[in-house]
Amino acid sequence: MRGAFPSLALALAACTVSQTDEMPQPEPVMTTPAMAEDAPPASAPGQKIDETYAVATLDGAPIAGGTPGQAPRIILTVDRVHFSSGCIYADWTYRHTSGASYSAQRFYEPGSAMCARGLATFETAIEELFDGLDGMTRHGDGTVIATGAGHRLVLRPVQSARIEGAWRVTAVDGAQVDEYLDLALLVDATTITFRSACDGYGWFYQADGGSIATDRRFQPAAECLARARIHHAVFDVATAIDAATILDRTPDGGLVLTGGGHSVTVATR
């Protein structure tokens, strides 16, 4: 009998192990971190969208029309869309809903204005898209794809343009400036100086990714302006630089500063 107990114990142990191996194991519980419904794009994985963009294609084709020399631009910040095309511009606030889904609502800046011309076909389509925005994704190469109202817009990031140097004003608000006026801008890393009568104008500026912000730091004295005969183009250039928000290159290496319904085009001296 004593010899039987070890055999019985081994049999029970084997049975116990076998039953344990066959018992169903609980399924692992998978949890997904909740995403706030109003989270801005910067906080959504892979959705950081905050830059200046050029239009690559609209509904599968390059755009046509608009203002020559003034390519349309779209600036996306964490909660705003700004669209400009020459003297046409529009703004929206937008919110991230979930995944790649977004919605937008028109936002009108106080005192904003547009030129008298009608919208080009592509400008109408872009405004329709953002009025009905339903999706926006940013890809590894920086390209952003926006969809809405049956349209699909592909945007590519604009590379920052270096603007230091001496420049000659060639056009303002789309009108050519006579060369004999010799309107010149001198630009260094932080300031823009506009040479004109009565000591001219000056601005501090910041340029980044195709966008520019200016802050006027000096201007002609009122007493001098009252005595001097100054061409209206001088004041138009100053107004355009005050309003500039977008910085772009021309095909011949010049610059175009646009914003607020104004523009100034310059060429190297």
Domain of residue 193, CATH code: 2.40.128.270
Residue 30: other Cβ atoms inside 10 A: 5
- Looking at 120, 139, 157, the residue that finishes a domain is 157
pLDDT at position 8, please?
A: 38
- What angle is formed at CA 133 by the lines to CA 52 and CA 260, rounded to 5 degrees? 45
Residues 228, 187, single domain; the answer is: yes
pLDDT at position 66, please?
A: 64
Residues 189, 220, single domain; the answer is: yes
Chunked in runs of 10, what are the mean pLDDT values of the chain (269 residues)? 45 43 43 32 48 88 70 84 83 87 81 71 94 91 92 85 88 93 91 90 83 89 90 95 89 88 92
C-alpha closest to that of 76 among 101, 57, 95, 51: 51
Residues 45, 148, single domain; the answer is: yes
Q: What DSSP string describes 220-257?
A: --HHHHHHS---HHHHHHHHHHHH--EEEE-TTS-EEE
pLDDT at position 132, please?
A: 96
- Looking at 157, 183, 217, the residue that finishes a domain is 157
pLDDT at position 156, please?
A: 86
Q: 48 near 41, Cβ under 8 Å? A: yes
In this prediction the pTM is 0.49
Residues 233, 135, single domain; the answer is: no
Task: Quote the CA–CA distance of 222 and 231 in Å, as a whole number.
Answer: 15
Residues 49, 115, single domain; the answer is: yes
Helical ranges in the chain per DSSP H: 4-22, 121-131, 222-227, 232-243
User: Which residue's entry shows tokens 């910040």?
Assistant: 77
Domain count within the chain:
2
Task: Quote the CA–CA distance of 78 and 41 in Å, as a whole number.
Answer: 6
103 forms beta bridges with 95
**Residue 21: inside a domain, yes or no?**
no
Task: Quote the CA–CA distance of 244 and 126 in Å, as a whole number.
Answer: 22
Domain that holds residue 97: 41-157
191 forms beta bridges with 204
